[in-house]
Amino acid sequence: MEPRVIVTILGTAQDAGIPQAGCSCERCSNAHDNPELKRYPVSIGVEGLDGSKHLIEVTKNLSEQLRLWSGNNIEQKIFIPDSVTITHLHLGHIEGIGQFGKPVMGLKELPIYLSQMNNDSIQKRNDIRLMIEEGNIRLLSRNHFQPTNDCGFTLEFISIPHRSELGDTSAILIKGPKKNLLFMPDQDSWNDTLDSFSVRSIRELLTSLRIDIALVDGTFWNLNELPGRDLSKIPHPTIEDSIHYLGTKKTNDPDISFIHLNHSNPVNDHDSEERKLVESYGWSICERNDTLSI
Ligand SMILES: [Zn+2]
Ligand SMILES: [Zn+2]
Ligand SMILES: [Zn+2]
């Protein structure tokens, strides 16, 4: 079989995962009772042509996600990433970073790629400084890079408007030998994102970046979802709005799949009407363990 660059979906949930700490909602309660219904925070793994492994986002479920990525071959050792790339510093996207240090994996010089602003910001944490001083990790800021010489793909940070209390936010553009994939788990709104690229539509944005597959922010289904919380303080476009903007998938459209799903989002349930509606428009919901060949 010819070598391919393979992207594996390792987590589909918003930062909290499912079940969310302290939440008694039906979806979280069911996930406590049935491990099949657990969802890990958003993360993907990219395996290069040379067999090297590159993790995007490092969540609290790192242990399970590395096991999942390694597949079902019992003989095979669990993958250890050759590099890590981080979109932004919100909790769920970096919560597992301490596991690279001495108390857990004790890695040597693991390259962690992140924007210059996030690099400056995260180095203020004493635990991160300690891991750098002990030689577990190296923080690297490059806008566009190829993580190993023969991996066959490049990664590029694409700046995205999103709450920036801790640093800035990027989407990651992954250019493989055959396809380009955009990983965009968080954004404040399509309007802000489209404005920042000076384009008028989601299609124009994805066409301008030559995207074949887009994994985009699907945090909420709609704004009725979290009674008692001010959604203007946690802005994300809703899937309902996104599919309204997009309409039905046309022949030359990229594949668009929603990821970063909040525990309140009904599309987490496989048989929900909302998920069927998304699929009836020709779009999809990201599923853990799905693989994409790029
Ligand atoms: Zn997030
Ligand atoms: Zn819940
Ligand atoms: Zn975020």
pLDDT at residue 235, rounded to an integer: 78
Query: How does residue 223 score in pLDDT terms, banded at 50, 70 and 90?
Result: confident
pLDDT of 187 > 90? The answer is: yes
- Return all residues near 20 (Cβ < 8 A) that are at least 6 apart: 28, 263
CB 215 within 8 A of CB 257: yes
Query: How does residue 1 score in pLDDT terms, banded at 50, 70 and 90?
Result: low
Beta strands in 160-290 (DSSP E): 170-175, 180-184, 213-217, 255-259, 284-285
Q: How far is the CA of 165 from the centre of ligand 2 (A)?
A: 25
Mean pLDDT of 262-272: 96
Strands in 110-113's sheet, in edge-to-edge order, are 137-140, 110-113, 83-85, 53-56, 43-47, 6-11, 291-293
Residue 29 dihedral angles phi and psi, to the nearest 5°: -60, -45
pLDDT at residue 186, rounded to an integer: 95
Q: How far is the CA of 85 from the centre of ligand 1 (A)?
A: 14
Q: How far is the CA of 49 from the centre of ligand 1 (A)?
A: 29
Q: Tell me which ligand sits closest to the C-alpha of residue 11.
A: 1
Helix or strand or coil: residue 116?
A: helix
Q: How far is the CA of 75 from the centre of ligand 1 (A)?
A: 34
- Return all residues near 169 (Cβ < 8 A) that are at least 6 apart: 87, 88, 159, 160, 161, 162, 163, 186, 187
Neighbours of ion ligand 1 (CB under 5 A): 15, 90, 186
Q: How far is the CA of 162 from the centre of ligand 3 (A)?
A: 7
**From the CB of residue 215, how many other CB atoms can be counted at a distance below 10 Å?**
28
Strand partners for 39:
18
**From the CB of residue 173, how many other CB atoms can be counted at a distance below 10 Å?**
19
pLDDT at residue 98, rounded to an integer: 98
pLDDT of 119 > 80? The answer is: yes
Query: How does residue 216 score in pLDDT terms, banded at 50, 70 and 90?
Result: very high
Q: What are the sequence ranges of the domains in the chain?
A: 6-293
pLDDT of 74 > 70? The answer is: no
- Prediction pTM value: 0.96
pLDDT of 149 > 70? The answer is: yes
Q: What percent of the chain has pLDDT over 90?
A: 89
CB 199 within 8 A of CB 228: no
Mean pLDDT of 11-33: 97
pLDDT at residue 86, rounded to an integer: 98
Q: Domain 6-293, what fold?
A: Metallo-beta-lactamase; Chain A (3.60.15)
> d(Cα 50, Cα 248) in Å, to the nearest integer?
38
